[in-house]
Amino acid sequence: MTNDRQFDEERAWQAVLARDRRFDGLFVTGVLSTGIYCRPSCAARHPRRENVCFFATGAQAGAAGLRPCRRCAPDGVALDEAAVAAVIARLKQGGRCNLAELARLTGYSAPHLQRIFRRATGLSPAAYARALREERAIAALATADQVDEAIYAAGYEAPSRFYAAMKERLGMEPHVWRKGGAGQMIHWAVMDTTLGPMLVAATERGVCRLSFAEDAEDLARCFPNADLRPAGESFRALFAEVLAAVEQPGSAAHIPLDVQGTAFQQRVWRALRTIPPGETRSYGELAAMIGSAGASRAVGSANGANGVAVLIPCHRVVQAGGALGGYAYGAKIKAELLRRERVARSPSSS
C-alpha cells in the first residue's frame, strides 16, 4: 500500500472476503499470482491472502504492472455511480424513456448499463421506472376524488394498465389485496424445523407467508377475508423446498412468492433478496441500494412489514454499528440463520 493515509490491511482483507461493496472505490485488491487488480467486491474466487497486495487506486496498481480485472472493472466505480444517479434522475422526471436512450445519456452500452443499474438498485431501469410510476399512482389514489384521473396523471395510458401492473406486481388484484385477501384461497401448513415450528402459507402463485411460532389463527389475522385451507398434496413439493431453504439457507432465490405490499415495500423486499447469503446491510445501506438514500426509516418499516421470513431475507439487515438488531421471531433465530448462511458459503471463500 503506497498511500500516506492510515490503512488497515486486515480490515481491507475482511471487506474482500465479505465482498463488501461499500469498499468499492476506496481501494483495489492486487493479485500478484494472476497479475490483475479488482474491486473489493469482485465476484471472482478469492485469491490466497499471501498473493494479495492493496493499492489506493487502480492507477497505482497499474504502475505496479497489474491489469484491471475484466469481470469487476475496478476502474469504473465512480463512473458507474454517476451513471446510476443520472439514470435515476432521468426516470424521476417521468415520461417515456427506453434503455437505449438511457444508455446514450450515460455513454454506456445498454447491456452494461442494465447490469450496473441492477447491481446498484436491485432493479432494471424499466422496473425502476414502473415502480416510480406505481408509487405516483398509489400516492395520488390515496387523496384523489377522481380515481381514473389520478391514474392518468401518474403516467399510465389507461386505468386498465395500472390495474394490470398492480396485479402482476402484487399477485392479487388491488381491490382484493385491500380487503385482506378476499376471494383468495390460501393453503397452509405448520412444519417442524430445527428453528422450531414454522408456518408456511401459499396461494396458487407462490408463498405468501413464512413465520415462526405461528398457527392458523395468526394466519387468519393476516388474511382475514381469504379462504384458508390445510395444504394438500399439490403443495407438498413447494413446501419441501421452503423447508430446505430454512435448513440450508441461501438457496431460496427460485421459490415463487406472492407478496402483498406497496410499490415501495416491494422494492425494499426485492433489494433484500439481492443481499448475498451470510452478508448483512444496515437500513441506511438498504435505502441507498434502492436509490432512496436517507429513507432508512421508511426502509425499516418496509423491512418490518415483510411477511415472508427467510425467503425475503430481512434477517440480513442489522444496525448501523453492526449489532444484530431486532427480529420479529427473536434474535436467536436471526443469529442462527446468518450463521448457517456463513457456514454454507465458507467453502467457496477459503
Which spans of this chain sit near Zn ion (rule: CB under 5 A)? 38, 42, 44, 69, 71-72
| CB closer to Zn ion, 116 vs 302 | 116
| CB closer to Zn ion, 42 vs 176 | 42
Query: How many of the other CB atoms lie within 10 Å of CB of 170?
Result: 21
| CB closer to Zn ion, 78 vs 100 | 78
Identity of the amino acid at 61: A
Identity of the amino acid at 281: R
| CB closer to Zn ion, 69 vs 129 | 69
Q: How far is the CB of 30 from Zn ion (least distance, A)?
A: 11
Identify whether 53 is a catalytic site residue: no
Q: How far is the CB of 45 from Zn ion (least distance, A)?
A: 10
Total residue length of the chain: 350
Q: Which helix (H) or strand (E) holds 227?
A: strand 227-230
Q: Which of the residues 69, 72, 222, 314 is marked catalytic?
A: 314
* Chain centroid offset of residue 330 CA: 22
For the record, the C-alpha cell of 8 comes out as: 488497515
Identify whether 69 is a catalytic site residue: no
Q: Which of the residues 38, 42, 69, 208 is marked catalytic?
A: 38
What whole-number distance in Å separates Cα of residue 39 and Cα of residue 57? 10
Question: CB within 8 A of 74, min separation 6: which ones?
Answer: 24, 28, 37, 38, 39, 42, 58, 61, 68
Q: How far is the CB of 110 from Zn ion (least distance, A)?
A: 23
| CB closer to Zn ion, 42 vs 245 | 42
Helix, strand, or coil (residue 148): helix
Helix, strand, or coil (residue 258): coil
What whole-number distance in Å separates Cα of residue 329 and Cα of residue 243? 17
Beta bridge partners of 52: 31
DSSP structural state of residue 234? G
Q: How far is the CB of 173 from Zn ion (least distance, A)?
A: 45
Candidates 235, 249, 237, 222; CA nearest to 313 is 249
Q: How far is the CB of 36 from Zn ion (least distance, A)?
A: 7
By annotation, the residues acting in catalysis are 38, 314
